[in-house]
Structure 1
Amino acid sequence: MASQGTGYDLSASTYSPDGRIFQIEYAAKAVDGAGTALGMRCTDGILLAVEKLVPTKLLVPSAKGASLNRRIAAVDRHVGLTTAGLTADGKHLANRARDEALNFRDTFRMPTPVPALAERLSLYIQAYTLYSSVRPFGISTILGGVDADGPQLFLIEPSGAHFGYRACAVGKGRALAKTELEKLDYAALTTSEAVQKAADIIYKVHAENKDKDFELELSWLCPQSKMLFAPVPPALVAEAAQKAKDALDEEMED
């Protein structure tokens, strides 16, 4: 890619002779090197899960530091998002999503529909691929929420393209996570069941990257959270994590 992109990868507004924008491809590489994130659209709500890699033991754990160092962000009462890639880009996009949701409430006096918010964010991300004075966002974003049409889940790519999914995964373990997600029946899967499924998948994909510690981070929007987007209770996360560890150990022994 380096030889082909020479001279054509200096600006996000420049096409290569074969119609590629190399800076968008570089942004996708930043996503592929990040900890895995996944989302599930269940029968009664949404679940987001993250393999949050811990670069140093001195880092304050999320459970003890409240909202410190979290990769899943609440956008509004009925919607949240997570990103894989450059952490700072993800925090900026979460703030932009909150502004969009607030502006919609102020204008229309109702919560923003999840598809409308996904479209606004995708247009914002795509704008950063149009000008030579800026660079593309180095993140892929999973946006989930519940509106009048029920649970909704979207994936927004670094190019600004967005698609609706029953389940999706981004990050280093995307391929394996996608394979595991395709085995589930989302027409019957509840968020309570999805907590354990997500923990199993995250631990399985992390087995390929054992040299780094990680935290399992889960958030949901469902009847158990009173239909508010919130972190999964720590006790439930710890229980799911322990079961996932035990299942993985048994599988490796066999």
Structure 2
Amino acid sequence: MTSVGTGYDLSVSTYSPDGRLFQVEYAGKAVDNSGTTIGIRTKDGVVLAVEKIIPTKLEVPGSNKRIFSIDKHIGFASSGWMPDVKGLVARAREEAWEYQKLYKVPTPSKILAERIGMYIQAYTLYSSVRPFGAMPIMASVDKDGPQLYMFETSGAYYGYRGCATGKAKQLARTELEKLDIDSLSIRDAIKEAARIIYTVHDDSKDKLFELELAWVSQESGNVFSKVPQDIFDEAVQYAKRANDDDSDDDDDL
């Protein structure tokens, strides 16, 4: 049974005969049109890495960030349509602030993930709205240790040891599955995250890009922040060296 072209994709609140919400799937396609974002959760922290595509040389370096701080111990990174990403970031910050103001303690990751998931899901219920074209990845360290969540365009969210969104998500997931994540240190995870972003980047389609790296770990004082410049530079050198080695191996074949 096919539902394409029969009008079931005109409203997010209408199921097709085979039980699909096409507008939610279309929102996922919007995410697949942007750069790749990955998250890696180790035993002592979480790393977020983003391939930020630069559409023109005229763009100011460092602008239009895709990694955001939500609270001292929580951060977001996301692929997708930038206005939707920023809308979800604003909502997450509001939820974190309201919880802390009410209960006088930092927001637990699980509680914030549940609230953001419900907020995203609410935009799949009414014909007057559309789903968010974004799939945020949330990193934090709380009383339960390092936490990594990824939100889908339907509002579903899951905890991960490693996850990826964006145009090269399948290749990134394949690279993540090759890692022994349980034995990685946070610094090794930063290097591997940079390597994966450089591996999945397609120079033939998107020549210019910036790598963004952020972490929250014991080494950062359990504060979500940008990776220090010296560690960032070391990770980039490791990533480029690894890709050069792979290129040499391909040439030998």
| Aligned AA (2:245) | E
Q: Is the 8 A contact 1:216 1:237 kept in 2?
A: no
| Aligned AA (1:150) | G
Q: Is the 8 A contact 2:3 2:17 kept in 1?
A: no
Task: Report what 2:60 is aligned to.
Answer: 60
Matched, 1:7 2:2: no
SS at match of 2:231: helix
| Aligned AA (1:73) | F
Task: Report what 2:94 is aligned to.
Answer: 99
Q: 1:161 aligns with which of 137, 145, 156?
A: 156
Task: Report what 1:221 is aligned to.
Answer: 216
Q: 1:189 aligns with which of 184, 188, 195?
A: 184
Q: TM-score, normalised by structure 2?
A: 0.94
1:212, distance to aligned residue in structure 2 (A): 2.5
Q: 1:202 aligns with which of 185, 197, 201?
A: 197
CA distance in 1 between partners of 2:215 and 2:102 (Å) = 27
SS at match of 1:41: strand
Q: Is the 8 A contact 1:5 1:16 kept in 2?
A: no
Q: TM-score, normalised by structure 1?
A: 0.94
Task: Report what 2:17 is aligned to.
Answer: 17
Q: Which runs of 5+ in 1 are unaligned?
A: 63-67
Q: Is the 8 A contact 2:73 2:142 kept in 1?
A: yes
CA distance in 1 between partners of 2:78 and 2:129 (Å) = 20
Comparing 187-196 with 113-122, which one deviates more in the overlay?
Answer: 187-196
SS at match of 1:235: helix
Q: 2:128 aligns with which of 113, 124, 133?
A: 133
CA distance in 2 between partners of 1:239 and 1:209 (Å) = 26
Task: Report what 1:65 is aligned to.
Answer: none
Q: Is the 8 A contact 2:146 2:217 kept in 1?
A: no
Please report the RMSD computed on the Cα atoms of aligned residues, expressed in angstroms.
Answer: 1.6
* Percent identical: 55
CA distance in 1 between partners of 2:120 and 2:204 (Å) = 30
Q: Which runs of 5+ in 2 are unaligned?
A: none
Matches within 5 A, 1:64-79: 68-79=63-74
Deviations 1:17-55 (A, max 9, x none): 111111001001011111000001111111100001111
Task: Report what 2:79 is aligned to.
Answer: 84
How many matched pairs? 249
Deviations 1:88-142 (A, max 9, x none): 1001101110000000001111011101101100000000000010000001111
Task: Report what 2:233 is aligned to.
Answer: 238
